[in-house]
Amino acid sequence: MSRLLPDIDYGPLPVVVLTGFLGSGKTTLLRRLLAEQPLGETALLINEVGEVGIDHRLVTEVAPETRLLPSGCVCCSIRGELKEALLELLSLRQTGRLPPFSRIVLETTGLADPAPVLATLSHDPQLRHHFGLARTVTLVDALNAPYQEGSQPEWLAQVAAADLLLLGKDDLVDEMAGGALLKRLGELNPTAERGLAAQVASGDPRLLPKRFDAGPGPRADGAQWPLMLRRAADTLGAAPGVSGRHARIVSFVLEFDASLEWDHFALWLSLLLNAHGDKVLRVKGILNLGPGEPPVALHGVQHVLHPPQHLAAWPDDDRRSLIVFITRGLAKPEIEHSLRIFLAALGTPVSERRRSP
């Protein structure tokens, strides 16, 4: 008798990366998120420091298809292992040894800068064929955030990499402190959506997208991308940059009214990220490449520049190019200067829009 195989969609599987400093509440959040969800829809990959994976035991009840990566820090040697773990999961799914799960949640160790994981997911051709980075979610511990911002570079890298910032343990601080923290997170990463972890309910689609292109990135909803960038630009305004409490963190926006020459701009950005990717914690942009051209969405974390994406159309008449940077030890004037000199040398000078203070 022939067995009916499940109808598996072999399109790229969405991968949601969940990060957050040690003890910020990632496992607690995952348990709530996955509780009451149909078993087998979500595969969970957990990377932990140390030999014994305690989290693994905690989440096994709700997600039996968990695979635990064997060794420690994501940021050092995990690239090979992450790839193997992802491909193994896929193989088990395709051969029917695992249910046809429709997404993967990858919880990174709390001590890690997520950039290497994001780089692996975005740049490995085999992984890119099968998986799509849908969203990076960072959990921030409300009680410890002020201290962690001042002392832990990984905390800042996690906050900067996020598409969604969730404030956890807000029950441990008063309302005013919680509000101030959310505002602070908006200053540090003005392009991320913000919310309270306590409001994440079981099955929250922000963390459990159904398809890769249903994620929050530029693929998902072209109109949202420029609007998000404009909100960020308004937040940052004419300020030279919002400073962090340490290590010269700044967030700022470059705005251009004139269209940009893609080849020249892309070359400049690649050179910038090659040379200073460790200082560019995050870059997100929407570019106007000239009349009749669709807008292009840019999206990068440190040395990683995700493949730029053409959006269907501009949402309205506003045709500004906007590029938001979050940098460490690289100030806005340095980046402006480098872009201006570079484009002028190639014969396509642009002048940046200046907002009146």
Which residues bind to ligand GTP, rule: CB under 6 A? 20, 22-28, 55, 110, 168-169, 171-172, 198
Nearer Cβ to ligand GTP (73/266): 73
Category of 186 on φ-ψ map: left (φ > 0), alpha (ψ -120 to 50) or beta? alpha
Nearer Cβ to ligand GTP (118/173): 173
The CB-of-210 to ligand GTP minimum distance in angstroms stands at 25
By the 8 A CB rule, do 285 and 323 touch?
yes
Q: Read off the tokens for 51.
A: 């030999």
Nearer Cβ to ligand GTP (27/122): 27
The CB-of-51 to ligand GTP minimum distance in angstroms stands at 14
Say how many residues make up the chain. Answer: 357
Nearer Cβ to ligand GTP (77/199): 199
Q: Read off the tokens for 270.
A: 């690649």
Nearer Cβ to ligand GTP (171/293): 171
Q: Read off the tokens for 92.
A: 């088990």
The CB-of-63 to ligand GTP minimum distance in angstroms stands at 14
Cα gap 113→41, rounded to integer Å: 27
Q: Is the dihedral of CA 229, 235, 240, 246 positive or negative?
A: negative
Nearer Cβ to ligand GTP (28/224): 28
By the 8 A CB rule, do 210 and 43 touch?
no
The CB-of-74 to ligand GTP minimum distance in angstroms stands at 12
The CB-of-336 to ligand GTP minimum distance in angstroms stands at 38
The CB-of-10 to ligand GTP minimum distance in angstroms stands at 32
The CB-of-2 to ligand GTP minimum distance in angstroms stands at 44
Nearer Cβ to ligand GTP (104/280): 104
Cα gap 149→111, rounded to integer Å: 13
Cα gap 247→319, rounded to integer Å: 34
Nearer Cβ to ligand GTP (54/238): 54
Nearer Cβ to ligand GTP (24/327): 24
The CB-of-245 to ligand GTP minimum distance in angstroms stands at 22
By the 8 A CB rule, do 19 and 139 touch?
yes
The CB-of-125 to ligand GTP minimum distance in angstroms stands at 31
